[in-house]
Amino acid sequence: MTTPDPPVPVPGAPVPVPGATGEPAPDGPPLSGPARARRAFRVWRRTRPFWAALWIGLGGFVIFFLPMAPLGRILQVGVGGIAGMAGGVVIMAMALLVLFLPGQRHTAGTIAVIAGVASFPLSNLGGLFAGMALSVLGGAMAFGWLPEKPARRRGLLRRDRATAGGTPVSVGSGSA
């Protein structure tokens, strides 16, 4: 019995990623649909300040829905009740901004902290302190989050010098 020769890789052809299309990973069984979705979500989540957005959104939710009452009650409360709800909406909008536009995390985090602190007098003591605390925590986390830097290549202190025909090209000051 003979075994068929392994396929020869074609230069320039894309290299398949094990487990991406359901074939077996090198160290385990093939990935099912939910496992692939979970892995894709994990990769997406790690590229943005996910936990900061979660805390900001939860704080905005508490601030927005804690003063919710029947419409007659809100009309009796007046502008104060409306302002508290508006603060919660702004905070939840900042959570979405942090989540979907991570480059704007400094601005959105600062606005979330300011709106969270402003909710203290506007909305039932900042959602009974819980919404305010969650908004401030999430805003601080968003402001401090940094994207993961790519691994640094060792041994290269400067950009590779171009070579022409095997001889290095001069990169000096230009004076002879």
List pLDDT tens digits, range 73-110.
655 666 667 788 889 999 999 999 999 999 999 999 99
In a domain, residue 100? The reply is yes
Alpha helices for the chain (secondary structure H): 33-45, 50-65, 71-77, 79-100, 105-122, 124-128, 130-144
pLDDT at 33: 85
When divided into structural domains, the chain yields a total of: 1
With beta carbons less than 8 A apart as the criterion, state whether 96 and 53 touch. yes
In a domain, residue 152? The reply is no
Report the alpha-carbon distance of residue 126 to residue 65 in Å, rounded: 11
Query: Given pLDDT bands bounded at 50, 70 and 90, which one contains residue 167?
Result: low
Query: Given pLDDT bands bounded at 50, 70 and 90, which one contains residue 137?
Result: very high
Residues in contact with 43: Cβ distance below 8 Å, sequence separation at least 6, in sequence order: none
0.75 surpassed by pTM = no
In a domain, residue 73? The reply is yes
In a domain, residue 26? The reply is no
Residues in contact with 37: Cβ distance below 8 Å, sequence separation at least 6, in sequence order: none
Report the alpha-carbon distance of residue 120 to residue 65 in Å, rounded: 14
A 10 A CB-CB count for 163 gives: 9
pLDDT at 17: 52
Nearest one of 132, 114, 133 to 63, comparing CA atoms = 132
**Domain limits for position 88:** 48-144
In a domain, residue 84? The reply is yes
pLDDT at 93: 97
pLDDT at 70: 63
Average pLDDT over residues 30-53: 89
Would you say residue 155 has pLDDT above 90? no
Would you say residue 21 has pLDDT above 70? no
Q: How far apart are the first and last CA of the chain?
A: 70
φ, ψ at 19 (rounded to 5°):
90, -10
Q: How many residues does this entry show for the chain?
A: 176
In a domain, residue 155? The reply is no
Average pLDDT over residues 110-128: 87
**What's 103's DSSP letter?**
G
In a domain, residue 79? The reply is yes
